[in-house]
Amino acid sequence: MVSKSIEETNQIARSVLASLTPEAGTAAVIRLVGDLGSGKTTFVRALAHGLGVDATEVTSPTFVVMKSYRTTHNTWRRFIHIDAYRLSTTEDARILALDEALSDPHTIICIEWPEHLKVVVPQKTTTLLFTFIDETTRKIEVQ
């Protein structure tokens, strides 16, 4: 899919959200893969908005690494946004204490730079690949 605007990114986020279904004993995990400026955080804001989170509150957790939000969505009650860019060791990942969140079927977890959390991220995930095309255009591939 190609997004040429924030509204188109919002539509893609709504489509991804609609495709997620809770599974017993596991959170829905979305891996966001792409270079800086490729649209990952814009997508996260759109997804958060679809969950009933005030999107103006959603900023990249680059320095705090993880932010958690309560939602108003009927199925998904909690939304977690992780920016793993600054994590470099398995111990860094363990400090996040994601075990409880990862086992909650009513939680969605979006992880930017998931390659830094290889040990933590469950095998069953949705992966989105973001590619910067130009100032207003991004390619977003769902895997």
Tens-place pLDDT, residues 35-52: 988 999 999 999 999 999
* pLDDT tens profile 22-31: 988 899 999 9
Three-class HEC string of 97-129: CCHHHHCCCCEEEEEECHHHHCCCCCCCCEEEE
94 versus 11: the higher-pLDDT residue is 11
Share of the chain above pLDDT 70, in %: 99
pLDDT at 56: 73
* pLDDT tens profile 89-106: 777 777 788 888 899 999
Sorted by where each starts, the structural domains of the chain and their CATH numbers stand as 2-138 (3.40.50.300)
State yes or no: pLDDT of 123 exceeds 80: no
Q: Which phi and psi (to 5°) does residue 125 adopt?
A: -140, 165
